Structure 1
Amino acid sequence: MHGMTISPEKVWFDEDNLWVMLSDVRTIGAPLAWFPSLLHADPVSRQGFELGVHGIHWGALDEDISVMGLLAGFGDQTRRNRKRAA
């Protein structure tokens, strides 16, 4: 498994969660509360994502979520980074 890249294969939402099926067949979920831009977005905007090798990108929402971040249990890092910069 060394050197294997785990990529997102499918993304969907329920009322409270983001769900991602990974290339290694695992499905992981994270609460939308972890990602305020997704939580407050309308359903059409949530569907405007692009799958990349390492994560998911929403251009219109300025949101990027990495597979490794999801696996590590990280939510939106933007607020944390802005506090450090201030």
Structure 2
Amino acid sequence: MSTLAIDVNPLAEAIQCTEDELIVSLVDGRKISAPLAWFPCLANASMEERNNWELLGDGQGIHWPDIDEDLSVSGLLKGTQLDG
């Protein structure tokens, strides 16, 4: 009998923001995408502010210092939408 190992603590390695979408690349090769409308602070930010991000911890989260916004990778995987 084989078992399937699931990484319960996935880590981000790169972030991309388009005009209407947030795309997070994980170290295991997966990509998470979500509409920017789910994240009002990001949706209302300039492209320059969206592109100024830093990883928190080893990639468990993402921080945008210009707009003081933080998102967790686990929250993104759950499909958690932020309220404005």
Report the TM-score, using the length of structure 1 for normalisation. Answer: 0.80
Residue ranges of structure 2 left out of the alignment (5+ in a row) = none
Q: Which residue of 1 aligns with 2:80?
A: 74
Q: Which digits, 9 at most, give the CA deviation of each residue in 1:40-82, with x for residues without a partner?
A: 10011011110122110012211100000000000225x5xxx
* RCO higher in structure (CA 8 A, sep ≥6): 2
- Equivalent of residue 19 in structure 2, options 11, 15, 30: 15
Query: Cα gap change, 1:18/1:2 in structure 2, threshold over 3 Å: closer, same or farther?
Result: closer
Instruction: Indicate conservation of the 8 Å contact 2:13/2:26, yes or no.
Output: yes
Distance 1:19 1:30 in 2: 7
CA RMSD of aligned residues (A): 1.7
Matches within 5 A, 1:1-86: 1=5, 5-52=9-56, 53=58, 54-76=60-82, 79=84
* Greater percentage in helix: 1
User: What SS does structure 1 have at the residue aligned with 2:67?
Assistant: coil
Alignment length, in residue pairs? 78
Show structure 1 runs of 4+ deviating over 2 A: 1-5
Q: Which digits, 9 at most, give the CA deviation of each residue in 1:11-52, with x for residues without a partner?
A: 001221000000111001010001111001001101111012
Distance 1:67 1:19 in 2: 11
Query: Cα gap change, 1:17/1:60 in structure 2, threshold over 3 Å: closer, same or farther?
Result: same
